[in-house]
Amino acid sequence: MVIFQNLYSMLEKLYTAKVTATGGRNGHVKSENGVLDIQVRIPESMGGPKGDYLNPEMLFAGGYAACFDSALTNVIRTEKVQAGTTTVTAEVSIGKLEAGGYGLAVTLEIEIPGVEHELAKQLAEKAHHVCPYSNATRGNVEVTLVVNETVAS
């Protein structure tokens, strides 16, 4: 087994999720505790079956949106900013890379009610440096932050 030394080699683990996939994009995904137990399919636009099925990009988008929103809430609390309930919507796209293989691109649409737009953008940037998903994808996945303007209270 090869262990790569990097920024995370000294990571103090707080939690570890264990999920097993069988059958790839046309298969089954199940967490160790059984809470996640689903079938996944290739999206129709990529040649998969018609119908509404989960796929790896949906699972990644849900995880990233939840994680970023949590990081954003933490930053808002730490900065002692009064804000409404935040919302983060993640769009995850898969596509072919010029050099071969496939890659992902992410757009995070962020809403921070009750906060002036410029401050909202600063808070989102800070959250982008705190969020574990953002840190894991930095330099590997194109991530675009879109902070929607909301009416400040």
Q: 59, 31 in Cβ contact below 8 A? A: no
Higher local confidence (pLDDT), 134 or 151: 134
pLDDT at 38: 96
List beta partners, residue 52. Answer: none
Mean pLDDT of the chain: 92
In angstroms, the CA 64 to CA 134 distance is 8
- Computed on alpha carbons and rounded to an integer, the radius of gyration of the chain in Å comes to 18
Mean pLDDT within 36-53? 94
89-98, Cβ contacts within 8 angstroms, sequence gap of 24 or more: 89/65, 90/60, 90/61, 90/62, 90/64, 90/65, 91/61, 92/57, 92/58, 92/60, 92/61, 92/64, 93/57, 94/46, 94/57
Sequence letter at residue 63: G
Would the pLDDT of 7 be above 60? no
As assigned by CATH, the class of the 7-46 domain is mainly beta
Domain range 56-147, CATH architecture: 2-Layer Sandwich (3.30)
Sequence letter at residue 22: T
pLDDT classification of 126: cutoffs 50, 70, 90: very high
pTM of the shown model: 0.90
Could you tell me the residue ranges of all domains in the chain? 7-46, 56-147
- Tens of pLDDT, residue by residue over 61-117, are 999 999 999 999 999 999 999 999 999 999 999 999 999 999 999 999 999 999 999
